[in-house]
Amino acid sequence: MSLLDIRNLRVRFATRGGTFTAVDGVDLSVDPREIVAVVGESGSGKSVAMLAVMGLLPWTATVEADVLSFDGTDLRALSKAARRRIVGRDIAMIFQEPMTSLNPCFTVGFQIREMLRAHTGLDRAARQRRAVELLAKVGIPEPERRLKSYPHQMSGGMSQRVMIAMAISCDPKLLIADEPTTALDVTIQAQILDLLKALQRDTGMGLVLITHDMGVVAEVADRVLVQYAGRPVETNTAQALFADRHHPYTEALLAALPERSTARRLPAIPGVVPGQFDRPPACVFEPRCAFAFRQCREAAPTPAAPELGRALCHIPLVGGVPTPVRAEAHRPRDGVPA
Amino acid sequence: MIRFLVKRVLLTVPTFVALIFLVFVAIRLVPGDPVEVRVGEHGIAPERLALLRHELGLDLPVWRQFLGYVWQLAHGDFGRSLSTSNPVLGEFLTLFPATLELAACAMFIAVLVGIPLGVFAAVKRGSVFDQGLMGLSVTGYSMPIFWWGLLLIMLLAERWHLVPVGGRLDLIRFDYDAPTGFMLIDSLLSDEPGAFLDALRHLALPAFVLGTIPLAVIARMTRSSMLEVLSEDYVRTARAKGLSPFRVVGLHALRNALIPVVTVIGLQTGTLLAGAVLTETIFSWPGVGKWLIDAISRRDYPSLQGGIILISALVILVNLGVDLLYGAINPRILHGR
């Protein structure tokens, strides 16, 4: 049985300009001991989907799903208090900005011990011992002394280590890491990633890694979910995905990796993720797609077969070439390679 | 820490010099001097007037009077009142506990009610409660104290007889020593049954009236500060830890939101003591406020100067305390210096 099971998740925000659907029909399942990467540009709804799992969205958001269960418990049926007992203890989350994610008014030790106090029956002395142990585990030297530090006395990498220590303090079954390395120096990024990988291996927890960096995905993920404008556009094992991409967006994301570039200019995906008011009516990726044709502007695509990565595309790519399997009137756009 | 303290204390010295100068000059700009006021409308012989002025040193040039006064202050001497001939400091210290008791209770009410209201409004932003409270706070903030006080006296004291009209204690029923000058404490020490309750009943209305403006300001400030803090990443972290909403809001958010609120509380102390002058007059509260008003009408220069300087010293001290509090609330501020 999978640890986290999400089917057809929809998150809507009530805004002044009307309803905005930030997440639209996302399916995701995470097994114990599995690392799943959720990939997409900023604004593709990756964080929102995970915050919905955590129950951390603001009151303007409505969360709906056919299935939203964790470890056999239906999260939608839980009372707020019951949900708080799971959040933090069984599902923990770390965030993109470690420097601002810790409370500047309290020592690191206080913030870690507070987590233990909320979810475990440890007494004061045991909490202190456990906090020291946790800091040592995430690779912070002189843990006793560091526990007395305030967040502003630490670097970004150090803060993220503290966040990780706090997140794993109650031995969670699932850790959600929301772009944990984005705000850090490149050298630190690799260290944090290695730490997460090692912790995941040692504890056997499931790990959801939200990222926009295909390099990170290649390094750690077992499975990948590619999300675009709130929709799941492709999902596959990491191995299969890196062997062959079936959705033009995934292909473009991978082509945008600097180390893959052979041209003088870095390749980029033209345009930006559509927002509330410029969502295309049919295929959401159509305006930026190199392979788009008439049908893409007229009908919303349905997911392809599992062996094609459930690509949300009329003409899923195979070997970088569109396969007009379901396209009745396939006429490529001018100047597009066939 | 100690260096910071010394620096802050030294910085108050120029503030004091400027303050003394301002008070000294401003009083002398008011038409009529103590002698003229005492003589009244009928007037006396010019030679006699000159003699009286000479006795009080009022015939000297203002700069010499000023230097003389500063010299006197430097020796800890606030002079004697022109109307009672008692030492100014002694009179002030006798009356000051009454004012302090009133102001402290007013601030107590303002903080104890204002902060929770502001927090609640921020959490329920946009709700009927929030909008209602913010409307009320504008009203409270712009309410003239004397009018508000009279209004409440009319309703609560005159019509409904819930509280007494004025004074600090029912002097017909109670008679005891007042060793501290603070009526709430003295009434408890006196062993007279009902004295404490009576003192409290006398204090309640004036303290509430005086606390109205600070309450409105504190509630607004808390609300806007909380709104800012509630969207911070560390509040999300606190919620991601599965902590109760009470702990997330009341500890993680509020502690960070308190800095501007504490600043406002410090600044409001000045407003409060200024307001005490009016409140004491309305409620016949025998404190320094009423004493100062009397000193103005008598052009009692030494009392006025001494009283204002002593009150200002208190305001400066409170704000110094507020500066020290910043570091206690948010350690980042202390380390930043």
Q: What is the CATH number of the domain that holds A200?
A: 3.40.50.300
Q: Could you tell me how many CB contacts below 8 A there are between chain A and chain B?
A: 70
| Distance of alpha carbon A120 from the chain centroid | 28
Query: Distance from A82 to chain B by nearest Cα, in Å?
Result: 10
Indicate whether A327 pLDDT > 80.
no
**Residue B169 belongs to some domain of the structure:** yes
- Selected for mutation to probe chain B from A16, A105, A149 (highest B CB count within 10 Å) is A105
Tell whether B225 and B296 lie within a shared domain.
yes
Which residues, other chains included, contact A123 with Cβ-Cβ below 8 Å and sequence gap of 6+?
A: none
CA distance B177 to B58: 40
Q: Give CA–CA dist A237/A141, Å, rounded.
A: 37
Residues B47, B15 share a domain: yes
Residue given tokens 């052979």 in the structure block:
A262
> Do B61 and B141 belong to one domain?
no
pLDDT tens, position by position, A236-258: 999 999 999 999 999 888 888 77
pLDDT of residue A256: 80
Q: Are residues A150 and A285 in the same domain?
A: no
Q: How many domains does chain A have?
A: 2
Q: Please tell me the distance from the alpha carbon of residue B328 to that of residue B4, in angstroms, as a whole number.
A: 14
Cβ atoms of B143 and B135 within 8 Å: the answer is no
pLDDT reported for residue B334:
63
**Rounded to 5 degrees, what angle do the CA atoms B236, B242, B247 make?**
75
Residues A197, A105 share a domain:
yes
Question: Where among A227, A259, A277 does a domain terminate?
Answer: A227
Query: In whole angstroms, what is the distance from residue B294 CA to residue B171 CA?
Result: 23
**Buried b or exposed e, range A61-90, using 16+ CB within 10 angstroms:** bebebeebbbbeeebeebeeeebbebbbbb
Nearest to A53 by CA among A39, A168, A45: A45
pLDDT at position B337 is 43
CA–CA separation, A180 and A189 (whole Å): 8
CA B175/CA B172 separation, integer angstroms = 7
Whether B39 and B132 share a structural domain: no
Higher pLDDT, B99 or B164: B99
Q: Which residues of B touch A102 (CB under 8 A)?
A: 234, 237
Looking at the fold, whether B114 and B174 belong to one and the same domain comes out as: yes
A53 with A166, same domain: the answer is: yes
- Determine, for residues B243 and A118 on separate chains, whether the beta-carbon distance falls below 8 Å: yes
Mutation target among A50, A86, A89, A103 for the B interface, most CBs of B within 10 A: A103
Residues B118 and B62 in one domain: no
| DSSP structure class, residue A266 | P
Angle (deg, nearest 10), helices A124-137 and A108-119? 120
In the structure, what pLDDT confidence band is assigned to residue A107 with cuts at 50, 70 and 90?
Answer: very high
Nearest CA to A178 out of A213, A136, A128, A151 is that of A213
Beta strands in B207-286 (DSSP E): none
Which tokens hold the place of A222? 């077992």
Residue B62 sits in the same domain as residue B157? no
Q: How confident is the prediction for chain B on average, in pLDDT?
A: 87
| CB pair distance less than 8 Å for B241 and A114 | yes
CATH code, domain with B112? 1.10.3720.10
* Chain A residues in contact with B234 (beta carbon < 8 A): 100-104
Rg (CA), chain A: 21
Same-domain check for residues A221 and A250: no
Interchain contact A104–B (C-beta under 8 A) = yes
Domain boundary pick from A227, A253, A281: A227
> Quick one: CA torsion of B271, B273, B279, B284, rounded to 10 degrees?
-170
CA distance B295 to B178: 25
Q: Is A177 inside any structural domain?
A: yes
pLDDT of B179 strictly over 50: yes
Instruction: For residue A11, tell me if it sits in a domain.
Output: no
| Closest partner CB to B242 (pick from A101, A102, A119) | A119
Has residue B83 got a pLDDT over 90?
no
**Closest by CA position to A225, among listed A212, A235, A238:** A235
Residue-range definition of the domain harbouring residue B40: 6-74
- ipTM value for the complex: 0.87
Please give the pLDDT value at position B27: 86
**A60 interfaces chain B, CB cutoff of 8 Å:** no
Read off the pLDDT of residues B203-239 as tens digits, 9 standing for 90 and up.
Answer: 989 999 999 999 999 999 999 999 999 999 999 999 9
Contact B240 A84 (CB under 8 A): no
As given in the structure block, the two tokens for residue A219 are 């390094």
Same domain, A138 and A181: yes
- Which residue is it, tokens 């560390």? B234
Distance from CA of A287 to the nearest CA of B (A): 34
Residues B102 and B68 in one domain: no
Over residues A154-164, the mean pLDDT reads 94
Asked if B337 has any chain A CB less than 8 Å from its own CB, the reply is no
- Specify whether B41 is located in the same domain as B122: no
Q: Is A101 on the interface with B (CB under 8 A)?
A: yes
Which amino acid belongs to residue B252?
A: H
Nearest residue to B216 (alpha-carbon basis) of B114, B103, B332, B86: B114
B204/B324 same-domain check: yes
Chain B contact for A152, CB < 8 A? yes
Counted residue by residue, chain A has a size of 338
Record the pTM: 0.83
**Chain A nearest C-alpha distance from B254 (Å):** 10
- A104 interaction partners in chain B (CB closer than 8 Å): 234, 256, 330-332
Structural domain for A274, as ranges: 245-322
Looking at the fold, whether A152 and A91 belong to one and the same domain comes out as yes
In a domain, A16, yes or no: no
Q: How many domains does chain B have?
A: 2
In this structure, is residue A85 part of a structural domain?
Answer: yes
How many angstroms separate the CA of residue A8 from the nearest CA in chain B? 23
